[in-house]
Amino acid sequence: MTQLTSQQPRRRGRIFPELTLSPEELAKRKAENEAEHQRYQAIFEKLRPELIKDHYGWYIAIELNTGDYVIDQDKEVAHKKAHDKFPNADHCVFCLNESGAVGRI
């Protein structure tokens, strides 16, 4: 005769419930991210008119704290150059065009 195994009840919910963030913390992080993006956007808007003339369609990676940047024709190369130049800092990549969008929308 075959032995029937009892089925374990399915567990529902988060894998790590102790890591759940409160709605206040989520809102705070979202506000910080939006403020940081606005700072990146302001630097990009200041640099774009002078760089778009000679480097239209190129990519620019901007470091937020110093405002330094690197440009390249390839997005991945610009990202790598920025990572090499600013190893311990975050950077943001924009395309030197009218909108600054990098990917397809």
**Nearest by Cα to 85 from 56, 60, 52:** 60
Report if residue 34 sits inside a domain. yes
Q: Give the pLDDT confidence score for residue 100 in this predicted structure.
A: 77
Parent domain of 50 = 24-95
Report if residue 81 sits inside a domain. yes
Number of structural domains, the chain?
1
Long-range pairs for 66-71: beta carbons < 8 A, 24 or more residues apart: 67/43, 69/43, 71/96
Q: Give the pLDDT confidence score for residue 81 in this predicted structure.
A: 94
The tens place of each residue's pLDDT in the chain, 105 residues long, gives 666 667 777 777 778 878 888 999 999 999 999 999 999 999 999 999 999 899 999 999 999 999 899 999 999 999 999 999 999 999 999 999 887 787 655
Rounded to two decimals, the pTM is 0.74
Q: Give the pLDDT confidence score for residue 17 in this predicted structure.
A: 79
Q: Give the pLDDT confidence score for residue 86 in this predicted structure.
A: 92
Q: Give the pLDDT confidence score for residue 5 in this predicted structure.
A: 67
Report if residue 5 sits inside a domain. no
Report if residue 75 sits inside a domain. yes
